[in-house]
């Protein structure tokens, strides 16, 4: 326990000394909101769904199967609420200690939790677009069509299937990735929060900064070079970090 609090204090020191701290978040931030990650044995999405359905080739070949497989996940995200990990990160931004959140998540929970500058490098599940004419609708409209059995939901402009604005396997990353690289290069501290850093090219971003803090339940490729490694849930680590900062006034 003493070691944990010493790491929390060191993280607070690094944050307070930093002039431009950036957060890189992954699925571990949202698991405590009931959103499954991708690879955990028995609970990860890829143990429940066929990853081939979620390639761009799979979507184009069979958009109906894509929606049949993904509909439960969309409903799950619709019910999810931000947890303490999200809200504390938003508070750190409000205090000027965090300048941006770069996230691999598509659930929108950072924004719901109060963060303003959020770069969604894997896209967002808040909307869907037509790949032919770029017509865009809210995910709520798509979900309503799915609930009514309209599989796949179709563009009202040209009749082609609507695709959620998430990055599928085989697609380029969202335009946010370019800005994320600029933020990572500018940063004098990157906090990796809730990510095992297994997915490329997101896992290349920490290499752009010399000062790293890793907050993740399991080990990552960057642990050896990080200034602090906290193998804790993100919500607990964030709560303890905020309490430490509050004690300092």
Give the residue numbers marked as catalytic: 122
DSSP-assigned beta bridge partners for residue 169: 55
Rounded Cα gap, residues 241 and 157, in angstroms: 49
SS (H, E, C) 188-229: CEEEEECCCCCCCCHHHHHHHCCCEEEECCCCCCCHHHCCEE
Task: Give the strand order in the sheet containing 123-130.
Answer: 136-138, 123-130, 162-166
- Which distant-in-sequence residues (6+ apart) come within 8 Å of 119 by Cβ? 100, 101, 102, 103, 176, 177, 179, 180, 183
Rounded Cα gap, residues 206 and 228, in angstroms: 14
Q: Is the dihedral of CA 247, 10, 27, 134 positive or negative?
A: positive
Residue pair 187/21 in contact by the 8 Å Cβ criterion: yes
Three-class SS state of 161: strand
Cα angle value 90/92/96 (rounded, 5°)? 115
């Amino acid at each position: 326990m003493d070691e944990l609090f010493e790491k929390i204090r060191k993280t607070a020191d690094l944050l307070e000394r930093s002039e431009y701290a950036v957060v890189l978040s992954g699925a571990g931030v949202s698991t405590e909101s009931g959103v499954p990650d991708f690879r955990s044995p028995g609970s990860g999405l890829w143990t429940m769904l066929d990853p081939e359905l979620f390639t761009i080739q799979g979507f184009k070949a069979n958009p109906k199967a894509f929606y049949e497989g993904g509909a439960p996940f969309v409903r799950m995200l619709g019910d999810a609420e931000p947890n303490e990990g999200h809200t504390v990160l938003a508070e750190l931004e409000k205090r000027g200690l965090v300048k941006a959140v770069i996230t691999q998540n598509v659930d929108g929970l950072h924004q719901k939790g109060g963060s303003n500058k959020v770069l969604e490098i894997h896209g967002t599940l808040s909307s869907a677009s037509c790949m032919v004419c770029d017509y865009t609708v809210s995910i709520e409209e798509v979900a309503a069509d799915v609930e009514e059995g309209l599989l796949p939901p179709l563009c009202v402009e040209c009749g082609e299937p609507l695709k959620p604005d998430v990055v599928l396997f085989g697609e380029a990353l969202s335009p946010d990735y370019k800005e994320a690289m600029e933020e990572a290069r500018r940063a004098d501290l990157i906090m990796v929060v809730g990510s095992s850093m297994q997915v490329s090219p997101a896992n290349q971003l920490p290499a752009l900064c010399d000062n790293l803090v890793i907050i993740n339940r399991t080990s990552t490729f960057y642990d050896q070079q990080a200034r602090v490694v906290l193998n804790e849930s993100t919500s607990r680590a964030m709560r303890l970090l905020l309490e430490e900062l509050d004690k300092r006034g």
